[in-house]
Structure 1
Amino acid sequence: MVYRPDIVLKEDGQPCISIPLSEVSFFNKEKQFDIIVARIFQVGVGRLWEKEYYDIRNLDLPSKYHVQVGQCLRFEYYFQENITYSIMFVSTVRGNDESKSFTKKYGVEIYV
C-alpha cells in the first residue's frame, strides 16, 4: 500500500513534502520518523535523484535522517516548473525497536 504525503508550495516555489499529521495522535505529537530512502522520478524519463539513509541490509544502524510530521523532507534536488514528478519515500517510526520492521511507503505525483 502506498500512502499519500502532505504537500504545500513553499515561498521559493519548491514543494514541501511531509509525513501527514494523521500519522500521530494527540498524545504522541512529538513522534519522530526515520526516513529510509527517498526518490524522485520524472514521469516519462525515469529516476532523477535517490538517497538511501539506511543500509537496507542492516536496519540496526543509527538513523541518519529523521523528521516529525509536517516537517519538510530534504530533497537534494531543485524541482523545475512545468514538469510532472513522481516522488516516493519510505519511513519507519524512530526509536521503537519493535517497529523497525514496520515501514510505510509514501508516494505522490506532482506538477510543479
Structure 2
Amino acid sequence: MKKNLFRSSSLILLVILMNGCIRGYTPDVVLKKDGQPCISIPADEDFFRRQKEFNILGLDIFQTGVGELWSRHYLDSKDHYYVKNQQCLYFNYKFQTNILYDISFFSTEKGDEENRKSTKKVWMRYMRIIKKSDGTLQLLLDKEARDYY
C-alpha cells in the first residue's frame, strides 16, 4: 500500500514539475450510449470557436488505491495524436462500473511541437460509473465520484 502511495505521489510530483505549475485543467466527461465515457477537451478551450486541433502527448488511467491501469504516450514525433475540442479521446480501455478512476492526459496546441511548453496542459478528473437500481448507468464526477459508497 505504501509503495503504491509513494508511486502515485511521485507521479503527481512529476506531472507538476513537467507542467511548471500546480493547476490542472478539467476535461469534459459524458457517458455514451454504450456505457463508456467520452473524455474530451471542452468547447470553451477554443475561445474563437475555430475547432482548434490539440496534440495529445499521453493518456493515463489510474484506479484509486491500486495504481496505473493503462497508459499510452505519444511523445515520439512520428506518432502524433491530434484531436479537436469536444472530440472523444481514444482510451483503449473498457471502463467498469463502481470503480473510482483517476483519468489524465497531456495536450499542447497543434503547431507547438517545437518546445511543447507554451501551450502544454495537464487534464485530470475523477470519475465513476454506477449501475442504478433500474439498470441504467450514471456517471459520477470528482467529489461525487470520490464520496460514493
Question: How many percent identity over aligned positions?
Answer: 46
Q: Which of the two has greater strand per residue?
A: 1
Give yes or no for the alignment of 1:78 onto 2:86.
no
Which protein shows a greater Rg? 2
2:82 match: 66
Amino acid at match of 1:47: E
**Residue segments in structure 2 that go unaligned for 5+ positions in a row:** 1-22, 130-149
1:54 is aligned to 2:75: yes
Question: What's the C-alpha RMSD, in Å, of the aligned pairs?
Answer: 1.5
Query: Which structure 1 residue ranges, 4+ long, deviate > 6 Å from structure 2?
Result: none
Q: Which residue of 2 aligns with 1:43?
A: 64
Shift of the alpha carbon at 1:100?
Answer: 2.6
| Maintained 8 Å contact 1:18/1:71 | yes
Matched position secondary structure for 1:54: coil
Shift of 1:97: 5.0
Which residue of structure 1 lines up, in the alignment, with residue 15 of structure 2?
none
Describe the SS at the equivalent of 2:54: strand
2:123 matches 1:110: no
The alignment's TM-score, normalised by the length of structure 2, stands at: 0.66
1:9-48 → structure 2 map (5 Å cutoff):
9-26=31-48, 28-48=49-69
**1:62-109 superposed Cα distances (whole Å, 9 cap, x missing partner):** 452110000000001000011110000000000245673231000000
| Larger fraction in helix | 2
Secondary structure at the residue paired with 1:3? Answer: coil
What is the aligned length?
106
Of 88-97 and 11-20, the range deviating more from structure 2: 88-97
- Find the aligned partners of 2:83 and 2:57 in 1 and give their Cα distance: 11
Task: Give the TM-score normalised by the residue count of structure 1.
Answer: 0.87
Structure 1 unaligned segments of length 5 or more: list them: 56-60
Conservation of the 8 A alpha-carbon contact between 1:34 and 1:63? no
